[in-house]
Amino acid sequence: MFRPPYNGGKTGDVEAGAGAGSRPLYPMMLEPPELRWAFIRKIYSILTVQLLITVAVSAVVVFVHPVSHFFIATTGGLALYIVLIITPFITLCPLYFCYQRHPINYLLLTVFTVSLSFAVGLSCAFTKGKVILEAAILTAAVVVSLTLYTFWAARRGHDFNFLGPFLFASIFVLMIFALIQIFFPLGRLSLMIYGGLAAIIFSGYIIYDTDNLIKRYSYDEYIWAAVSLYLDIVNLFLSLLTLFRAADS
């Protein structure tokens, strides 16, 4: 569970309005609508490919039992599992500096997506199929509904940039909660509370990052926009998986 640094938002003081320093409030929204919609379609095309890769890799880990057995039951598999867990964090560093360099940015994005997909697959490997299906369906429903709502709200002039500080503080509290769970397990009820809180927080991030996609990201930040939304969706799914798995046990 982690968030990439956000490079966008270079729009000046929000409270100052369009007249501050002769700069518009949201410069990206003054572009021709066709260009902005082309940018948005590009982001969601990249995001769709990422999610398809995640589903494919996770399905292999879940249904090909020797794969999950290798990761869990062998020393080499455990070492490789640790490498796959930290690879997304490591990949974000060069991606931060190379997000405008094609095709290096796509190569790094692929490594990031595949390594994280293995982690998702291993989280599902020892979970009941019913629980996985419930989490997947609810994730899809939440993502679609919140995305449509954010686009509708943006057309009506609503802004969700104020959510940034609250979501950052919430994710910090959630990380502390997770550390407490690791060292001092508090039982099934605490796992359900953790999963529910995490699901609410990442639902907020979906609204926040979709709003940034519409108003603040520039054209050369398509990689960061895709990474942000991808992480929101994956973390929402894992949060719901934790909640349903604890409730089912």
pLDDT digits (tens, 9 = 90+) for 51-106: 999 999 999 988 888 877 777 777 777 788 788 888 888 898 888 888 778 888 89
pLDDT of residue 25: 47
Spell out the residues 6+ positions from residue 248 whose beta carbon is closer than 8 angstroms to its own: 128, 130, 131
Domain of residue 61 covers 20-248
24 has a pLDDT exceeding 60: no
Confidence of residue 13 (pLDDT cuts 50, 70, 90): very low
Total domains in the fold of the chain: 1
Confidence of residue 14 (pLDDT cuts 50, 70, 90): very low
More confident residue, 117 or 11: 117
Flag whether 223 is in a domain.
Answer: yes
37 has a pLDDT exceeding 60: yes
Flag whether 5 is in a domain.
Answer: no
Flag whether 76 is in a domain.
Answer: yes
Flag whether 42 is in a domain.
Answer: yes
Instruction: Write down the mean pLDDT value for the chain.
Output: 83
pLDDT of residue 31: 64
Q: What are phi and psi of 62, to 5 degrees?
A: -75, -45
Flag whether 195 is in a domain.
Answer: yes
Flag whether 12 is in a domain.
Answer: no
The string of pLDDT tens digits covering residues 162-216 is: 998 999 999 999 889 888 887 877 778 888 888 999 999 999 999 999 999 988 8
